[in-house]
Amino acid sequence: MTEGKIVTWLKSPGDHVKKGESIVVVESDKADMDVESFVEGVLGSIAIPEGGTATVGEAIAYIAESEADLAEAQAKASGGASAPAEAAAPAPVIATPYAKKLAKELGVDLGAVFGSGPNGRVTAADVEAAKAAPPAPAAPAAPAPRRPRPPPPRRPRQPPRPPTETSVSDLKGTTVPLTGLQLAVSKNMLASLAIPEFRVAMSIGTGAFDALYRRLKSKGVTMTALLSKAVALALTQHPLLYAAATADGAGVTYSEHINIANAVAMPDGGLITPVLADADQRDIYSLSRDWADLVKRARAKALAPAEYSSGTFTISNLGMFGVQAFDAVLPPGTTAILAKQMVVNLTADHRVVYGAQAAEFLVTLKKVIENPDELVF
């Protein structure tokens, strides 16, 4: 993620904000995320309005320590130049709460005090030093800052709109821009071209595996969870298959976790890969429950980044459409992806895995699927 779009402000300027409280909803390329405040205070001003876009690290709002600091936060958002040059308000003063209290008691003008703290913050010692110094010549009083405009009314967070139906005739001769999710998928697919991929395929008998699924389906077990568990158990014997090449291609990073990502098509186009974390260590019932929840929240764009970006092995399954076999594109940052329709087709990064190692993994997976009793524990 390099930038995000402001979807909804949950707080308005002047509202009290608690540490850890959600204050804004930000849309990334794959999810809508609630952003929490790291501090307690008062929301002084909003720098990026709803519908605006901010890069990672860019300030989108300013939080004041107290209501008395609101003017300072509002001046920060406007660059300290909200009034015409000939009637400019004094630059905002950053000071500790005790320094402000002490300045008021001693009658010291904080605007005339040099701040020795971080980022020019005025400390209590600075105030005491200013009090002890000879008085400076009086300066003409600056006009009072203009009252800020009342904050816009807050709007409730809206659920994602269902995709609208568009006829083929409506699309003829038009260019439709990609959604944020589709654009992210496009960039990842282009990035995958830099990976020296190769593929191996194997036919696997699924009689016992399908029988197990039919027996457990009434208990809430899903095919995705069952297959993810089978793949995870096979991966425990082949750590290279869930490792990844380093960015410079000069080494291999072995993962501590077997996190199985499964591709899910989104209603408005694009796809996302929710992750079943540590699938080798969990039972198929908890995996099934988690998968149902992940898919529901994925389609509502409510996944946290770790829930769709932490996969160490990916499964792409088109068997429900009657597809017999296909070549899956390898997501950057992983070493292998399994296309399932029993013929299974494994795509791997040749910098990390060689043909014999990929084939050995499929042999292990074949044993697990054809003898699936150990999937239930």
Q: Per residue of the chain (377 residues), what is the pLDDT tens digit?
A: 567 788 888 888 888 888 888 888 887 666 667 788 888 888 878 888 888 888 877 888 888 876 666 666 566 555 544 444 344 344 455 666 667 777 888 888 877 777 766 445 677 777 777 777 665 555 445 454 444 444 444 444 444 455 555 566 677 778 877 777 677 777 877 777 778 888 998 988 888 999 999 999 999 999 999 999 999 999 999 999 999 999 888 999 999 999 999 988 887 777 889 999 999 999 999 999 999 999 999 888 888 888 988 999 999 888 777 777 777 888 878 877 776 556 889 999 998 999 999 999 999 999 999 999 888 86
Strand 343-349 versus strand 41-46 pairing type: unpaired
| pTM of the shown model | 0.58
Q: Can you tell me the distance from the alpha carbon of 32 to that of 12, in angstroms, rounded to the nearest whole number?
A: 19
Which DSSP string do the residues of 340-372 spell out, in sequence order?
ESSEEEEEEETTT--HHHHHHHHHHHHHHHHSG
Which DSSP string do the residues of 201-218 spell out, in sequence order?
EEE---HHHHHHHHHHGG
Question: How far is it between the farthest Cα atoms of the chain?
Answer: 94
Asked if 38 and 81 count as a contact pair (C-beta separation under 8 A), the reply is no
Structural class in CATH, domain 191-375? alpha beta
What is residue 171's predicted lDDT score, i.e. its pLDDT?
A: 74
Asked if 122 and 115 count as a contact pair (C-beta separation under 8 A), the reply is yes
Please name the fold of domain 86-149: Dihydrolipoamide Transferase (4.10.320)
What is residue 70's predicted lDDT score, i.e. its pLDDT?
A: 64
**Residues of each domain in the chain carrying CATH 2.40.50.100:** 1-79
Strand 3-9 versus strand 22-27 pairing type: antiparallel
Which one, of 317, 322, 352, lies nearest residue 337 by Cα?
317
Asked if 241 and 313 count as a contact pair (C-beta separation under 8 A), the reply is yes
What is residue 278's predicted lDDT score, i.e. its pLDDT?
A: 96
What is residue 326's predicted lDDT score, i.e. its pLDDT?
A: 77
- Enumerate the active-site residues: 350
CATH 3.40.50.720 holds for 1-79: no
What is residue 320's predicted lDDT score, i.e. its pLDDT?
A: 74
Q: Can you tell me the distance from the alpha carbon of 72 to that of 44, in angstroms, rounded to the nearest whole number?
A: 8
What is residue 81's predicted lDDT score, i.e. its pLDDT?
A: 40
> The tokens of 117 are what?
């703290």
**Residues of each domain in the chain carrying CATH 4.10.320.10:** 86-149
User: 104: exposed, middle or buried (C-beta count within 10 Å: 0-12, 13-18, 19+)?
Assistant: exposed
Strand 313-317 versus strand 260-262 pairing type: parallel
Q: Can you tell me the distance from the alpha carbon of 54 to that of 39, in angstroms, rounded to the nearest whole number?
A: 20
